[in-house]
């Protein structure tokens, strides 16, 4: 058994480093950017034409939270090639597996994280906005200098949840022909007839990745909470 593990471990780890980690990191960064934009649009108090923009973003969040991630992957990778629009996509939209994966994971993460960010911004007391406005800040300045730094602290644990969730969700990319870690473990298991060992091993590697991320979360929480931990609670 030991030999099976030592033989396949490097292969799995290589797949993890080559596909799982880049897929996770790129998708999460893009997803976060999208999430921040979505949250800010949905929180904006602009009226008129902007209402339509808001509605579009609301629809986006609804769509990606209401359908299974696996189905989303299938639509983007297997479905879009059949979306033939004369003049724009005469041959349908054909995406590389990795591109399709990144697009889907980013959109999915963005939808979930936008709610996290929106809630964390809403959790900052109104008095902070008022104090910022009172020293003459614009809304953008107040957001950037006063609200978002505090919202970041609040949103770190739930955002870490999403990040760790995404690491594991990338295993679904196996179904759109990306040779990531889980796909490799399936291939090896098909050769050596050791599914228990292979799937346990790949589970262990996912667990290691996620544990490292949990440590990172703990560290970031410490850094962003310096001003709170100074004395716990108190006058702000």
Query: How many other C-beta atoms can be found within 10 angstroms of the C-beta atom of residue 1?
Result: 8
Please identify which residue in 150, 162, 170, 171 interacts with another protein, judged by CB under 8 A: 150
Q: How far is the CB of 24 from another protein (least distance, A)?
A: 29
Residues 121-140 interacting with another protein (rule: CB under 8 A): 125, 127-128, 130-138
235 near another protein, judged by CB under 8 A: yes
236 binds another protein (CB under 8 A): yes
Query: What gap in Å lies between CA 235 and CA 9, rounded to an integer?
Result: 53
Q: Which CB, 68 or 127, lies closer to another protein?
A: 127
Query: Length of the chain in residues, anyone?
Result: 236
Phi, psi for 123 (deg, rounded to 5): -80, -15
User: Can residue 228 be called a binding residue for another protein (CB under 8 A)?
Assistant: yes
Please identify which residue in 92, 149, 195, 218 interacts with another protein, judged by CB under 8 A: 149
Interface residue with another protein, options 10, 48, 87, 232 (CB under 8 A)? 232
Q: Which residues pair with 82 in a beta bridge?
A: none
How does 193-224 read in b/e, with b if 16+ C-beta sit within 10 Å? ebeebbeebbeebbeebbeebeeebeebeeeb
Question: Which chain residues interact with another protein by CB under 8 A?
Answer: 125, 127-128, 130-138, 141, 145-146, 149-150, 153, 226-228, 230-236
């Amino acid at each position: 058994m030991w030999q099976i593990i030592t033989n396949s471990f490097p292969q799995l780890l290589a797949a993890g480093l080559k596909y799982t980690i880049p897929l996770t990191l790129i998708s999460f960064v893009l997803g976060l950017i999208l999430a921040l934009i979505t949250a800010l649009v949905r929180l904006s108090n602009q009226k008129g034409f902007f209402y339509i923009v808001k509605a579009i973003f609301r629809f986006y969040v609804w769509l990606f939270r209401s359908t299974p991630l696996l189905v989303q992957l299938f639509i983007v990778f297997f479905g879009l090639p059949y979306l033939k629009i004369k003049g724009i996509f005469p041959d349908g939209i054909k995406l590389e597996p990795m591109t399709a994966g990144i697009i889907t994971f980013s959109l999915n993460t963005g939808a979930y994280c936008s709610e996290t960010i929106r809630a964390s911004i809403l959790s900052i007391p109104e008095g902070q906005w008022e104090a910022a406005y009172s020293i003459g800040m614009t809304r953008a300045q107040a957001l950037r200098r006063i609200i978002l730094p505090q919202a970041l602290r609040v949103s770190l644990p739930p955002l870490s949840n999403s990040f760790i969730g995404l690491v594991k969700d990338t295993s679904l990319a196996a179904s759109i022909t990306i040779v990531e870690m889980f796909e490799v473990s399936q291939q090896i298991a098909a050769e050596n007839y050791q599914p228990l060992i292979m799937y346990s091993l790949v589970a262990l590697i996912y667990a290691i990745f996620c544990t490292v991320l949990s440590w990172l979360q703990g560290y970031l929480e410490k850094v962003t909470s310096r001003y709170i931990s100074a004395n716990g609670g108190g006058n702000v």
